[in-house]
Amino acid sequence: MSTWSKTWYENRKKQNKYKACKVIVDGITFDSGREAKRYNELKLLEKAGEIENLSRQVEYVLIPSQKGETRNERKCSYFADFVYTDKKTGKVVVEDTKGMKTKDYIIKRKLMLYVHGIEIQEI
């Protein structure tokens, strides 16, 4: 394998199937550059006092685990990229940085609204 081909192949392995590369900011690994950029923006908003209680990768259980007669089903969860409180409105905001809206994500977005009454903000 030529040097160029080997370099291209190694870089390709680091991307996920949607061509997003992992990025590290402040020692935190993000799934994409878009998510890392949004994290930096939110940190600035938090520092400016516009938002508070910034959290990342917050789990929301959509369907709890279930035990059947023949098999057990694991819980189904949605992990929000970012959750914070908007100080102007006092509302909790759940954000997801999306490049590609998969079928799984769309179903989980609908379940978030149905189960928790939370509408996800897509960035």
Q: 1 lies in a domain?
A: no
Domain count of the fold of the chain = 1
Q: 99 lies in a domain?
A: yes
**28-81: per-residue pLDDT in tens?**
999 899 999 999 999 999 999 999 999 999 999 999 999 999 999 999 999 999
Asked whether the beta carbons of 44 and 54 are under 8 A apart, the reply is no
CA distance 108 to 98: 13
Q: 4 lies in a domain?
A: no
Q: 14 lies in a domain?
A: no
Q: 45 lies in a domain?
A: yes
Rg of the chain taking only CA atoms, in angstroms = 18
Q: Kindly indicate the confidence band of residue 8, based on its pLDDT and cuts at 50, 70 and 90.
A: very low
Q: 112 lies in a domain?
A: yes
Q: 94 lies in a domain?
A: yes
Q: 13 lies in a domain?
A: no
The parent domain of residue 114 ranges over 21-122
Instruction: Name the pairing type of β-strands 92-96 and 51-63.
Output: unpaired
Asked whether the beta carbons of 103 and 94 are under 8 A apart, the reply is no
CA distance 79 to 61: 9
